[in-house]
Amino acid sequence: DVAAPGRRKKCSLCTKILGQMKAMAGEDPDNEAVEAALGKVCQALGKRLGRICKRLVKKFRDQISEALQNGDQPRDICAAMGFCKA
């Protein structure tokens, strides 16, 4: 379990984290841009969110990386990982 109780809260945290990653990776990112964003985004989110972010990245790194490179939206990525309702 990545985040605090409550599905909506998990969904909004996931969406927020992935929104930041998408913004950092830029439009049409390659693997290097995504990896750089994955490394930086958790530090930029502060202590509490940063911890959740690190666990999320550790567990779903490949899935997040592929989805960002495909141009998927944060909410769709979070739904695919089970944090949001599809």
pLDDT in tens, the chain (86 residues): 454 456 678 899 999 999 999 999 998 899 899 988 988 888 888 888 888 899 999 999 999 999 999 999 999 999 999 999 87
DSSP per position, 28-82: S--HHHHHHHHHHHHHHT-HHHHHHHHHHHHHHHHHHHHHHHHT--HHHHHHHTT
Domains of the chain: 26-85 (1.10.225)
Specify the pTM. 0.82
Q: What is the pLDDT of residue 86?
A: 74
Give the tokens for residue 68.
């960002």
